[in-house]
Amino acid sequence: MPDVVGEYIDRLCTVEMRMAGLPRGTIHRFYEAARAHYGRPLTLLAAERLQAACREGGTVLIGTGVGSPPWLGQGETDGPLGAVSLALALAAAYGVVPIFVSEEPYIPHLVAPARAAGLAVMEYEWARQRTYAAAVQVQSLDPVQGPRQAEQMLERYQPRAIITVEKTGPNQKDVFHSVLGRGRPTRPTYFDLVVEKARAQGVLTVGVGDGGNEIGYGVIRDAVRELTPYGATCQCPCGGGIATVVETDVLVVAAVSNWGAYGVAACLAFLERNPALLHDEETERRMLEACTAAGGGDGALGRPLLMVDGIPLNAQQGIVNLLHALVDNALFTLDRQF
C-alpha cells in the first residue's frame, strides 16, 4: 500500500502548469530519470528516510531562499512555504526542532509564513526546550566565513537530516544559474557546502526542486543537461549550463518545489496515520499571504502576488486539498457490501 500511495502523490506533485516563456515539458522527464535511479516513489522514499532519521527528535536543517536581484531581491514564494510545511510535519510527528537556514534578504519572507502556520520562531536554545518551535540561522555570504560556517552549523546543531527546498546549487564550474540559464555574478549561497559536508559525515540529505538547477539534481545531472533548454549550455560566459553537480541522498522532483515538500509531508501523514501532519488549505492561504506581505514575490512574474511560479492561490490550495483526499482515503478501509 505505501508505494501505491506514494506513486499517486508523486504524480500529483509533478503536474506541470508553467507559463509559456519558461522551460516546459521537462518535469515528467526529470521525474522519470530520478525514478529510474531510485526505483521507488520519490516523496515516499524521502518520507521513509526522514521518519527513520527523525523518529527520536533532534534537529533538522532546512535550507531555502532564492532570488534574482534586483528584480526579485527579497526572494520568491516557492521554497519558504514548502520548507515550513515540512518543518511543521516533522515537529508535530517527532518533536524535531527545525532550523531554517537562509541568507539575510530572505529571512523575513521565511519567518512570516512559519509563524502564519503556527510555528514559534525563536532563539535555538529556547526552541529546543519546547514543541512546535523553530530557529533561524543566517547564512553568511562572506567568502571566508561562509565555508567555515558550513562546518560550524553541523557541529553546533548535530542535525539528523539536511533538507533543501528550492535552493540552487553550482554547476561544474562553481557558477549558479537561474532556470533560464542566466548566471549569478556572485555566489548566492554556501548551503551547498553544508549538504556536501553532511553527506560526507553520513547525515541524511534530501533535496526538493523543480528546475534542475537546485541542490539535489546532481543525482540526475546528465538528464538535466540533456532535457532542459539551458541544461548543458547557459546564457552566461561560463558556458557550463544550469545543471548542478550537488547531489543529495534523495531527490524529490516536483512541478513546483513547494509541492514536492507538501508531497513528502503527505507521505509522512500517511506513514504516521495522522492527516493533520499536512497543513490545510486555510494555512496555505495564511502562509502565502504572510510570505508576500514580508517581501516574497512570485518567481515567474517577479511581482508580490498571491501566486507561486505563476500559479494562483486557489490552485495551490487545490494541490493541498487533493493531497489530503489521497491521504484520508488511503487511511480509510472500505467494507463495500455491493
Q: β-strands 97-102, 120-121: how paired?
A: unpaired
Q: Classify residue 196 as exposed, middle or buried by CB count within 10 Å of its CB (0-12, 13-18, 19+).
A: buried
Give per-residue pLDDT as tens, 181-211.
999 989 999 999 999 999 999 999 999 999 9
SS3 256: coil
The answer to whether 109 and 73 are in contact (CB under 8 A) is: no
Q: What is the pLDDT of residue 73?
A: 85
Rounded to whole angstroms, the Cα distance separating 301 from 293 reads 16
Whole-angstrom CA distances from 110 to 8, 54, 79, 100, 202 are 29, 22, 9, 8, 28
* Amino acid at the residue 160: R
| Distance (Å, whole) CA 83 – CA 100 | 8
pLDDT tens column, 33-67: 999 999 999 999 999 999 999 999 999 999 999 98
Tell me: the pLDDT tens digits for 95-115? 999 999 999 999 999 999 999
The pLDDT, as a whole number, for residue 133 is 98
The CA distances from residue 145 to 14, 35, 115, 153, 198, in Å, are 37, 37, 29, 12, 18
Residue 92 contacts residue 50 (beta carbons within 8 Å)? no
Please state the length of the chain.
Answer: 338
Residue whose entry in the numeric block shows the C-alpha cell 511560479? 309
Tell me the CA distances in angstroms from 179 to 169, 243, 300, 333, one per residue in order: 12, 9, 10, 43
* pLDDT at residue 70 in the model: 84
- pLDDT for the residue numbered 239: 94
C-alpha cell at position 137: 540561522
Q: Give yes or no for a cis peptide into 70 (omega within 30° of 0).
A: yes
Inter-residue contact 103 to 139 (CB < 8 Å): yes
Short-list 124, 119, 146, CA closest to 61: 124
Strand segments, DSSP code E, in 146-273 are 161-165, 204-209, 250-253
Tell me how far apart the alpha carbons of residues 56 and 134 are, in angstroms, rounded to a whole number. 17
Other Cβ atoms closer than 10 A to 315: 14
The helix/strand count (H/E) of the chain reads as 12, 9
pLDDT at 1 over 80: no
**Residues ≥6 apart with Cβ < 8 Å to 32:** none
Res 71 pLDDT > 90: no
Phi, psi of 267 (to 5 degrees): -65, -35
